[in-house]
Amino acid sequence: MNKNLIIDTSLAHKLTIAFRRHGWTSNDIKTLLGGNFLGDFLEVIKKRSEINIIEHVIDCDAVPFVPEDLLLESHKKSGSFKFDIADISRYLSFKPKKGDYNKEGKLRKELDSVLVLNANVLEYLLEHPEIIPEKWKGRMIPFWGTIYRYPSGGYCVLYLLWTGCGWSYGRLVL
């Protein structure tokens, strides 16, 4: 124990700014103060240990989940996808024009030529909600790479949504 440690208001202010800059919450700081996290971080600072970032790799070639009342219409395979929040925006930039989706439709052809996420990514995110960015709350994040069909004939894609209690998915009818 270091009895010489003094955290004055200037240092406390700098810590607060650093925590804010990196997106920390009060609950994150409470977690940091529990257990041995600070001791572990000190080992990293003194170069006696290292932090290994967990890579979230998703198999986008796998057969996607299909809700009970839907049929799988199409699924754009894209190999192994490494979920990287810094790179995800280029996959979310696709915004189709209003119009009907059908087998010969413009939307179907357009989806073949753009980067989109499929339902495998949605399923992975629902299993790992801790990696979903806070800024996605209140947004609709569609997964255009997988198109579903209702037995009655209509089409839809699934999207990620925050319900207020947790993450779930909704259906965007095409």
- Reported as half-sphere exposure (CB side, CA atoms, 13 A), residue 95 has a value of 3
Position 135 scores a pLDDT of: 86
Are 18 and 92 in the same domain?
Answer: no
What is the DSSP secondary structure assignment for residue 39, as one 8-state letter?
H
Are 98 and 144 in the same domain?
Answer: yes
pLDDT of 158 > 90? The answer is yes
| Number of domains present in the structure of the chain | 2
- H/E run at residue 162: strand 155-162
Are 85 and 114 in the same domain?
Answer: yes
Q: What is the pTM of this model?
A: 0.71
Domain that holds residue 84: 57-173
Q: Write down the mean pLDDT value for the chain.
A: 86
Are 26 and 101 in the same domain?
Answer: no
Are 79 and 143 in the same domain?
Answer: yes
SS3 assignment, position 80: strand
Are 64 and 92 in the same domain?
Answer: yes
- H/E run at residue 146: strand 146-149
The per-residue pLDDT for range 2-54, each reduced to its tens digit, is 788 888 999 999 999 999 998 888 888 888 888 888 888 888 899 999 988 88
Q: Which of 71, 73, 67 is nearest to 151 (CA)?
A: 71
Position 102 scores a pLDDT of: 52
* Position 50 in a domain: no
**C-beta separation of 111 from 95 below 8 A:** no
Are 37 and 65 in the same domain?
Answer: no
Are 108 and 66 in the same domain?
Answer: yes
Which is more confidently placed, 86 or 146? 146
